[in-house]
Amino acid sequence: MESHSFSIFVILLISAMSAPKLIFGLTPCEFPAIFNFGDSNSDTGGLSAAFGQASPPAGETYFHTPAGRYSDGRLVIDFIAESVGLPYLSAYLDSVGSNFTHGANFATAGSTIRPQNTTLSQSGFSPFSLNVQYYQFHDFHQRSQVARTRGEVFQKLLPKAEDFSRALYALDIGQNDLTAGYFLNMSTDQVRAYIPDVLGQFSTIIKYIYDQGGRSFWIHNTGPVGCLPYILDRLLVRAPEVDKAGCATPYNEVAQYFNIKLKETVVQLRNQLPLAAITYVDVYSVKYSLISQATKHGFKHSLSACCGHGGKYNYNRNVGCGGKVSMHGKQILLGRSCNDPSVWINWDGVHYTEAANKWVFQQIVDGSFSDPPIPLKFACHRR
């Protein structure tokens, strides 16, 4: 009997040691709202509201219609909202049918941390850089409380004053700052050289949000951009620079350098913002694992786009997902969706499918890839 009891004790001890740390004795957070900042990885309708809806077949898997997301369905931010018991975030820029009671999404596809000196039509990068997203948040914070004093519908559609300090502030941005340099024909050394400035601007925005009462931050690092079709197709990649997964090593190495510096920035912010709980989430490792071991994780296609047309990766920058061409006076759809997006990782050459987004979320929600290693539901606690 004693031997049996000891065995049970050892099993329980091993289980406890293998679980995410730092959660014992903590009370789960009750986030009344989420405020999200980012690019297309978490845009739930911002760019669509400003410049026109993402065209079909976007949204086909879950929403069954375009829903402002550059995917066939839900994004990681949607699964984050679900997991903390909140509805999907309305885009701040979307004035039709939006409900901001439980937060707002300031992310737009193509956004960068550092403002770009080009227009959307010239470069494809959004004018709503991170500093603009912060200006929008600041304005929303102030005006929402003035509007709530009018009562009735305004109180039902806008967050309470106290919700801003208790909310989760999620950020997933930086990928476009890297690709912007390459698309301007910069060298890798030149791109690396401006990363400290980019992260300096990122740090400033976090401090601004903190000054507005933000306390719980959930920060994603940037993913393996060298595994995305729009990079592999558009930028020069020599054979020796392709790894076993088929990804471009130089561009992934720059992303990893960005992430190292981002993590250093987070450490500095923790020292400077003593009341903030800042969680750094390594989505790079999760996404690279998914792409490099696609079959192991239940996917059949790792690099090619589910929705697109032509080329080695079913990607054509001139005829994208949902793209049409005019032939004999008729519009012909070329950018078609694949038959089963659930076994594809990449949706349109740039973004992930709902299935891939869900898989990524399932890996990060328990804190296994976080620093500190704390689950999402405890992310309001400082460590």
Give the tens place of pLDDT for each residue, 148-173.
Answer: 999 999 999 999 999 999 999 999 99
Cα(295)–Cα(164) distance, integer angstroms: 42
Average pLDDT, the chain: 93
Q: Judging by beta carbons within 10 Å of its beta carbon (0-12, 13-18, 19+), is residue 32 exposed, middle or buried?
A: buried
**Single-letter residue type at 293:** Q
Pair of tokens at residue 324: 């049409």
Structure tokens at 66: 């375009």
pLDDT digits (tens, 9 = 90+) for 96-117: 999 999 999 999 999 999 999 8
Token pair belonging to 150 = 């009018």
Clarify whether 40 is annotated catalytic.
yes
pLDDT band at 358 (very low <50, low <70, confident <90, very high): very high
At 17, is the pLDDT very low, low, confident or very high (cuts 50, 70, 90)?
Answer: very low
Q: Which CATH architecture has domain 34-296+354-378?
A: 3-Layer(aba) Sandwich (3.40)
Evaluate whether 352 touches 61 at the Cβ level (below 8 Å).
no
Among residues 234, 105, 123, the alpha carbon closest in space to that of 176 is found at: 123
Quick check: 44 pLDDT over 60? yes
Q: Which of 40, 48, 337, 370 is catalytic?
A: 40
> Which one from 39, 72, 78, 348 is the annotated catalytic residue?
348
Q: Do residues 363 and 14 make contact, with C-beta atoms less than 8 angstroms apart? A: no
Residue type, 326: S
Q: State the catalytic residue, choosing from 102, 301, 309, 351.
A: 351
Residue pointed to by tokens 């709530």: 148
Contact yes or no for 171/219 (Cβ under 8 A): yes
Q: Identify the CA nearest to 165 among candidates 263, 59, 277, 68.
A: 277
Judge contact between 44 and 88, C-beta under 8 A: yes
> What radius of gyration, in Å, describes the C-alpha atoms of the chain?
21
Would you list the domain boundaries of the chain?
A: 34-296+354-378
Q: Is 351 a catalytic residue?
A: yes
CB of 299 closer than 8 Å to CB of 290? yes
Between CA 295 and CA 162, with CA 76 as vertex, the angle to 5 degrees is 160
Q: What is the rounded distance in angstroms from the CA atom of residue 125 to the CA atom of residue 110?
A: 4
Q: Name the 3-class secondary structure at 130.
A: helix
47 contacts 109 by C-beta, under 8 angstroms: yes
Residues 216-246: tens digit of each pLDDT: 999 999 999 999 999 999 999 999 999 999 9
Give the three-class secondary structure for 89.
Answer: coil
**Angle of helix 130-148 versus helix 188-211 axis, rounded to 10:** 20
Residue 383 binned pLDDT confidence (cut-offs 50, 70, 90): confident
